[in-house]
């Protein structure tokens, strides 16, 4: 089976410029620095990592909201990086995005109809309003949003309902891939599971593939088949969901997992947290050798010299650590 989304050695860099008219590059922020993975049709890849590790940039780079400096992105057999702006406009239907903050991702001056119809009008051009409206109503049905709300405005909805509107907009063009950029982290905990379950239902119904970006491990565990852990612009571990939670290989993953509380208080009392030292290093000059060496609790000499390879440690479980 060939993958729906294949990313190879993707790099998204941002130059940091100084000066106004004669701009010079003082540094390069390597937000995404050589990332490779594949996502099968109908599956979900969870992407976790702390704030600033480049996970959102990766998501936006894949659908070319940011221009990658190098690497390859293939979606449904088509090279996304090589597409011209014009070509891209037509192909955008195939990959959509759900944003983190449903209070910021909906234009406050547009009605629900205008918001969900915008992708339809953009893709089809001028169309009979009734045809568009029928589509909008069907989309509202599929995200369980009452039809009577079609003429309402975003500020008249709760966060969860707003996110449903955003999901309906993303679904409008029948994409195969949806980048979910922390779609539940701005919502109340009670609403989070509703939205997560909605996403899972929609995935089954429309055979969608998700790249699910989150810093919430339990949300990712709930929805993903595979999980990638990102640190400072690179994927450090990639494995199936059960495998990653059962036997995390990379010390960073181990530290992340140790922070997840158990629902059972007896287990919870025995939980040993691995505390990470310091903050994320400056991404404009990542440490030599292993990028994690400044904070790793298992660090050895070799980690300061050589950058570890991202290698299979058995059973499609990849890890970038000298010790695994």
Partner 1 sequence: MTDAAYKLGLAGKGEEKGTSLWMDSYYRLKKNKMAVVSFFYLLLQAAAAVFAPLLVQFSYEETDLVLGAVPPNAAHWFGTDDLGRDLFTRTLYGARVSLAIGVLAAFVSVVIGIAYGAISGFIGGRTDYVMQRLLEILYAMPFMLFVIILMVMVGRNIYVMFIALGAIQWLSMARIVRGQVIALKRMEYVDAARAIGVSNLKIIFRHMVPNVMGPVIVYTTLTVPAVVLEEAFLSFLGLGVQEPMSSWGTLINDGVAAMEVYPWMLIFPCSTLMLTLLALNFIGDGLRDALDPKVSRH
| Residue ranges in contact with partner 1 by CB under 8 A | 20-21, 23, 60, 63, 65, 88-90, 92-93, 96-97, 99-101, 104-112, 118-119, 122-123, 130, 133-134, 136-137, 147-153, 155-156, 166, 169, 173
Smallest gap from Cβ 173 to partner 1, in A, equals: 8
Smallest gap from Cβ 287 to partner 1, in A, equals: 30
Q: Specify which residues 259 forms β-bridges with.
A: none
> What distances in angstroms separate CA 296 from CA 290, 291, 309, one per listed residue?
10, 9, 17
Three-class SS of residue 32?
strand
- Comparing CB distances to partner 1, the nearer of 149 and 245 is 149
Looking at beta carbons, which pairs linking 197-204 to residues 24 or more positions away fall under 8 Å? 198/143, 198/144, 198/164, 198/167, 199/167, 199/223, 202/142, 202/143, 202/167, 202/171, 203/42, 203/44
Smallest gap from Cβ 100 to partner 1, in A, equals: 7
Three-class SS of residue 109?
coil
Smallest gap from Cβ 102 to partner 1, in A, equals: 9
Smallest gap from Cβ 257 to partner 1, in A, equals: 30
- Comparing CB distances to partner 1, the nearer of 156 and 188 is 156
- Comparing CB distances to partner 1, the nearer of 169 and 322 is 169
Q: How far apart are CA 196 and CA 80, in angstroms?
A: 28
- Comparing CB distances to partner 1, the nearer of 162 and 295 is 162
Contacts of 30 (CB under 8 A, 6+ apart): 11, 13, 233, 283, 284, 286
- Comparing CB distances to partner 1, the nearer of 20 and 189 is 20
């Amino acid at each position: 089976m060939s993958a729906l989304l294949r990313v190879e050695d993707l790099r998204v860099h941002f130059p940091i410029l100084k000066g106004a008219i004669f701009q010079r590059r003082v540094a390069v922020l390597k937000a995404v620095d050589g990332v490779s993975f594949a996502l099968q049709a109908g599956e979900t890849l969870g992407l976790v990592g702390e704030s600033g590790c480049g996970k959102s940039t990766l998501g936006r780079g894949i659908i070319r909201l940011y221009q990658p400096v190098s690497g390859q992105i293939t979606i449904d057999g088509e090279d996304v990086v090589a597409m011209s702006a014009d070509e891209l406009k037509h192909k955008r239907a195939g990959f959509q995005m759900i944003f983190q903050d449903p209070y910021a991702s909906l234009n406050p001056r547009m009605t629900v109809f205008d918001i969900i119809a915008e992708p339809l009008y953009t893709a089809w051009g001028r169309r009979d309003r009734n045809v568009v409206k029928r589509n909008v109503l069907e989309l509202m049905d599929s995200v369980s949003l009452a039809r009577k709300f079609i003429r309402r405005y975003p500020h008249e909805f709760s966060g969860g309902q707003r996110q449903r509107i955003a999901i309906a907009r993303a679904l409008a063009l029948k994409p195969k891939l949806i980048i979910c950029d922390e779609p539940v982290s701005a919502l109340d905990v009670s609403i989070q599971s509703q939205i997560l379950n909605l996403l899972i239902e929609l995935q089954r119904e429309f055979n969608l593939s998700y790249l699910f970006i989150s810093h919430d491990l339990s949300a990712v565990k709930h929805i993903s088949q595979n999980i990638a852990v990102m640190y400072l612009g690179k994927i450090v571990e990639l494995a199936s969901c059960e495998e990653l939670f059962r036997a995390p290989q990379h010390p960073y993953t181990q530290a992340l997992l140790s922070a997840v509380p158990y629902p059972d208080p007896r287990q919870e009392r025995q939980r040993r947290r691995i505390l990470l030292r310091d903050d994320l290093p400056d991404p404009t000059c990542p440490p030599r050798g292993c990028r994690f060496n400044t904070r790793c609790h298992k660090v050895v000499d070799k980690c300061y010299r050589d950058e570890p390879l991202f290698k299979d440690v058995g059973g499609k479980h990849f890890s970038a650590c000298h010790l695994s």
